[in-house]
């Protein structure tokens, strides 16, 4: 854990140093202007510090949104700047790109700026286009009727995904006219404070179907004793290592694995009538075999965001058995969704923001 934390902090600093070195050589400006530009860019590091929730509640919501957005977006922009300069350096080494292109060059400057801008304008537009993903599930167990269930994860409501944006999501979900809405964790981003200040609970109460949810890791990161109070005010049925039977099916909400003492799937399955179709909400998609062994019919997970931007999605594929999409193990079906919301900068490159519409037939 300590090594991982050190790398998490060290790699961005090394990335900044590499990009700053290139920018110093690239910009055809007097050194004093280069210093001013690099100092201004360094303010993103300060914003990033606040972006992890340190002191954001001291700002107005509008100011906090800007600080959070700049700080967290800088990580993704840094990643693409590093990749772009590495590509240019490789091109220079194999004599495809002249050295003059990267030294005191307006042509090089505008090329870098244009490419980075194009990627992230596209990424923001793509993020805002929510994808409707359909699932058709045939139950081998007795059901009273066909159910239409909207499933989503990773809303990350807070300083960047605010009430106005969530209101559009509510309209979109209500348009589906579902029997039930299931949320697989990370409703809250880093603090419940902005949700309380904007009365986001009122928007949740506009949802026309019953809402059941489990916790995600970000609910723990928020560390706020008012979080569960918010769920009650929002009309969300929070399943924290608990179960509910709704419309003739079982819903199991497992506590997030951040809680090392959470109940096992086998323990939770003992609380239900296993002759009914059973859905497990488990935020992080680890140890998927546990649901299969317990006889779960369907598991909804999220957490991965599928990396949010390429090539982080490749890293997610290496970490998880199933980082994104559907999977079947035995008689158990799974879906790991990339989430409707996002952490940090609002960009999707090579991934998508989505919600699921599952039709379960008897």
Question: Do 118 and 135 fall within a single domain?
Answer: no
Question: Do 192 and 268 fall within a single domain?
Answer: yes
With tokens 């100011």, the residue in question is 63
Question: Do 89 and 139 fall within a single domain?
Answer: no
Q: Are 149 and 358 in contact (CB under 8 A)?
A: yes
pLDDT value, residue 48: 82
Question: Do 200 and 275 fall within a single domain?
Answer: yes
Query: Model-level pTM?
Result: 0.93
Q: How many structural domains does the chain have?
A: 2
Question: Do 184 and 200 fall within a single domain?
Answer: yes
Q: What is the pLDDT of residues 153-170, one digit of tens each?
A: 999 999 999 999 999 999
Q: Which of 127, 150, 183 is the last residue of a domain?
A: 127
Three-class DSSP category at 21: helix
Q: Is 244 left (phi over 0), alpha (psi -120 to 50) or beta?
A: beta
**Distant-in-sequence, close-in-space partners of 32: CB < 8 Å, separation ≥ 6:** none
Question: Do 40 and 167 fall within a single domain?
Answer: no
Question: Do 37 and 118 fall within a single domain?
Answer: yes
Q: Which domain holds residue 135?
A: 131-360
Question: Do 34 and 183 fall within a single domain?
Answer: no
Q: What is the pLDDT of residues 315-334, one digit of tens each?
A: 999 999 999 999 999 999 99
242 token code pair: 């608990």
Question: Do 196 and 119 fall within a single domain?
Answer: no
Q: Are 69 and 345 in contact (CB under 8 A)?
A: yes
Q: Minimal CA–CA distance to 208: which of 244, 243, 235, 168?
A: 235
Question: Do 193 and 303 fall within a single domain?
Answer: yes
Question: Do 172 and 293 fall within a single domain?
Answer: yes
pLDDT (mean) for 61-76 = 93
Q: Which of 76, 102, 127 is the last residue of a domain?
A: 127
């Amino acid at each position: 854990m300590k090594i991982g934390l050190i790398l998490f902090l060290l790699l961005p600093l090394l990335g900044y140093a590499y990009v700053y070195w290139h920018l110093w050589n690239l910009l055809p400006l007097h050194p004093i202007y280069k210093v001013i530009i690099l100092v201004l860019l360094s303010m993103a590091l300060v914003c990033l510090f606040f972006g992890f929730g340190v002191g954001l509640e001291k700002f107005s919501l509008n100011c906090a949104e800007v600080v959070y957005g700049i700080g967290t977006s800088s990580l993704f922009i840094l990643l693409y700047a590093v990749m772009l300069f590495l590509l240019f350096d490789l091109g220079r080494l194999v004599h495809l790109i002249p050295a003059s292109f990267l030294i005191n060059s307006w042509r090089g400057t505008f090329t870098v700026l244009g490419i980075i801008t194009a990627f992230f304008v596209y990424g923001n537009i793509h993020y805002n286009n929510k994808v409707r993903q359909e699932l058709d599930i045939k139950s081998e167990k007795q059901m009273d009727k066909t159910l239409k269930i909207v499933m989503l994860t990773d809303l990350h409501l807070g300083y960047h995904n605010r009430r106005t944006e969530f209101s559009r999501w509510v309209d979109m979900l209500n348009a589906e006219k579902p029997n039930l809405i299931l949320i697989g964790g990370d409703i809250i981003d880093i603090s419940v404070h902005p949700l309380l200040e904007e009365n986001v609970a009122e928007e949740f109460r506009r949802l026309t179907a019953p809402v059941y949810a489990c916790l995600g890791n970000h609910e723990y990161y928020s560390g706020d004793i008012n979080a569960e109070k918010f769920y009650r005010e929002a009309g969300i049925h929070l399943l924290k290592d608990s179960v509910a039977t709704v419309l003739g099916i079982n819903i199991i909400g497992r506590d997030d694995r951040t809680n090392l003492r959470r109940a096992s799937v086998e323990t939770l399955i003992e609380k239900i009538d296993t002759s009914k179709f059973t859905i497990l909400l488990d935020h992080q998609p680890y140890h998927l075999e546990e649901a299969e062994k317990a006889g779960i019919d369907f598991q909804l997970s999220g957490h991965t965001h599928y990396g949010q931007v390429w090539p982080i999605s490749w890293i997610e594929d290496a970490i998880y058995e199933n980082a994104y999409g559907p999977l079947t193990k035995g008689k158990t079906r799974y879906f790991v969704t990339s989430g409707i919301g996002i952490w940090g900068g609002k960009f999707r490159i090579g991934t998508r923001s989505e919600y699921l519409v599952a039709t379960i037939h008897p």
